[in-house]
Chains A and B, each alone.
Chain A
């Protein structure tokens, strides 16, 4: 059974960096069948995919255009976790942030973390 445990602050000041971590159990961050995603949800933007990291003999990343200049998603193989850093945050970045596993060729999100509510203020 895969479990994703999220951690990080619930309050970030404007212009600072939002940092969240997603600890993975029951699977490996280096899995050749999974991609590890960050997704956020707010009333104004709905569910918004932010980006992913995955391993296919080498590491790949891709990010949403809306945050591409500010975001970094990093795998940590030693701790089996994935982290999110979002720089220069504004109140528009206030949202619930989820990590999720994107699985296999069909690419559905089958496991999600519980969510981290983050307020930028």
Chain B
């Protein structure tokens, strides 16, 4: 199975800050890496797919980069509604695997 290492596990930032979350995979997943935001009591919501493609309806302050084994999610100009937990997930093969999550406090 492809192991996912995500860091930091939590962070606190202020409105307007730039935030970066990192995800590392145990083997190359090419660009088959996706990012989700989850609010308490809700299902995860897709933000970024294929490492850098913005899902329809997601604000442009979210961006993704990387390929191979190292990926980043960046939130520019952090907004109050961006609080939640963020997960990376690889779709290179089965089983699909997720990172452990990064909790973002505003």
Confirm or deny: A36 has a beta carbon within 8 angstroms of a beta carbon on chain B.
no
Q: How large is the interface on B (under 10, 10 to 19, 20 to 34, 35 or more residues)?
A: 20 to 34
On whether the beta carbons of A109 and B32 are closer than 8 Å, the reply is: no
B contact residues vs A (CB 8 Å cutoff): 1, 32, 34, 36, 42-46, 49-50, 53, 55, 87, 89, 91, 94-98, 100-101
Query: Per-residue 0/1 for A14-39: is the Cβ within 8 Å of any B Cβ (1 yes, 0 no)?
Result: 00000000000000000000000101
Chain B facing A: main interface SS: loop
* Bound CA–CA A97/B37 (angstroms): 17
Which B residues touch A48, using CB under 8 A? 98
Closest chain A CB from B31 CB (angstroms)? 8
Most buried by B among A48, A64, A106, A112: A106
Across-interface contacts of B94 in A (CB, < 8 A) = 49, 52, 62
Q: Count A-B contacts at CB 8 Å.
A: 59
Among A46, A107, A110, A112, the residue within 8 A (CB) of B96 is A107
Alpha-carbon distance A30/B96, docked complex (angstroms) = 21
C-alpha spacing A46/B38, complex, angstroms: 12
CA–CA, A113 to B45, complex, Å? 11
Measured CB to CB, the residues of A under 8 A from B are: 37, 39, 46-49, 52, 62, 64-65, 98, 100, 102, 106-110, 112-115
Judge whether B44 and A107 touch: CB under 8 Å.
Answer: no
